[in-house]
Chains A and B, each alone.
Chain A
């Protein structure tokens, strides 16, 4: 191989890993350096291919040399500062997703009588688990990569000794188990609702009648994702702060209020209730007043559902705020 060619290829391999603005400069610099090194090795004799190889080996592999030029920490996707947290969160999310997927596969078997346990079904199930694990991995990685790039600090500011947090007494800390339960249940809830929209059903003459219209639920997938992301952000923030603080209480309340938007849009969407259910009820009850009362009740299920969510959210926000104002001594 031609020695100039090899040197050029080496330099190209180094510089293509560097930022554009220094590429040309480094390239020129390395050309002269390699030339100098060959000259000091061979004197006035023309360097052989072997000499070139020795000199280039001395400089290290192109990626090693490039990494010497790149000492900026912007070259990490997820740097050491975040890596530990990244691993923990990834583990929780992956575990919750796997569990949710297994649960949903199990539920499908229970609810859908027509499922045949063929090899195809098994493959499909593995495929689904695999895809959702990749998605979970992708989401967590994306979040952390964003934190890394923006340099968002998780930990409380500890540059000033006076700002160091007091050692929490036991009641002041948010139990990790409750947060992990929160993360896992949000993910499982989302998976179950999206994959088996007929999970809220009842049995009528050995037939399973879903309360909600599965097609409408599937159509509004983004509302579930939005709702889940909001509750996950809440739980992750709790996990990082680890104690009841006023900031956290404010964040939690805002996230809770925001999550009312997807909840409202979902429960007040057109055609949410399963029409089949309404027909069945009409056919069962012959007495007009019974029928109208039940239909009224059924038609109000979305409202009740929404009220339930509002109640849960208010309860969580209020108890959290009370604890935060009680324990946050800063």
Chain B
């Protein structure tokens, strides 16, 4: 395997771990899928629609998200997602875990640099 391939596969692996947290962080208010894709990409997180849509569905089946179709005649039918109470709890726990991980990783990596 080429060096570039190895690097990109590791980066992909790292990013994959952060996807759920990124998505959950934005869903304190109702959003539809494509809206979330563009919003996250503006904030520097790239997620493909073909990954996000199935992911949202999976989170919904786990009870973390709730969805509702908005079928107003003026616009296209859209499916909006929002965190449930369970989703809120889980988000807070994972967020704390993430902060903790950053701290640990930073001290691990900084020590290496110095």
Contacts and interface: CB of A to CB of B under 8 A. Distances in A.
A64 B50 contact: yes
A83 B79 CA distance: 39
Contacts of A58: 48-50
Interface in B30-50: 32-34, 38, 48-50
Interface in A288-318: none
A68 to B, nearest CB: 4
B57 to A, nearest CB: 7
B50 A65 contact: yes
B63 interface: no
Size band of the interface chain B makes with A: 10 to 19
B49 A33 contact: yes
B54 A36 contact: no
B27 to A, nearest CB: 16
B76 A32 contact: yes
A71 B51 CA distance: 12
A43 interface: no
A40 B49 CA distance: 13
Given A29-B33, A33-B33, A35-B76, A40 B50 contact: no
Contacts of B76: 32, 35-36
B98 interface: no
Given A40-B38, A71-B58, A32 B77 contact: yes
Nearest to B79: A29
Contacts of B58: 71
B51 A68 contact: yes
B51 A37 contact: no
Interface string A24-42: 0110111011011100100
B57 A33 contact: no
A265 interface: no
B54 A68 contact: yes
Size band of the interface chain A makes with B: 20 to 34
Interface in B57-111: 57-58, 69, 76-79
B77 A33 contact: no
B38 A29 contact: no
B50 A60 contact: yes
Nearest to B55: A68
A64 B49 CA distance: 13
A205 B17 CA distance: 82
Contact of A33 (B51, B53, B69): B53
Interface in A38-83: 40, 58-60, 64-65, 68-69, 71
A22 B76 CA distance: 19
Contacts of A35: 76
Contact of A37 (B32, B34, B54, B77): B34
Residue in B33, B49, B76 with the greatest tally of chain A CB atoms within 10 Å: B49
A29 B81 CA distance: 12
A58 B34 CA distance: 14
Residue in B33, B38, B48, B50 with the greatest tally of chain A CB atoms within 10 Å: B50
Contact of A28 (B34, B38, B48, B77): B77
Contacts of A36: 34, 76
A30 B76 CA distance: 12
Nearest to B71: A28
B50 A37 contact: no
A234 B50 CA distance: 47
A69 B34 contact: no
B38 A59 contact: no
23 contacts: A28-B69, A28-B77, A29-B53, A29-B79, A32-B32, A32-B34, A32-B77, A32-B78, A33-B53, A35-B76, A36-B34, A40-B34, A40-B38, A58-B48, A58-B50, A59-B49, A60-B50, A65-B50, A68-B50, A68-B51, A68-B54, A69-B53, A71-B58
Interface of A: 22, 25-26, 28-30, 32-33, 35-37, 40, 58-60, 64-65, 68-69, 71
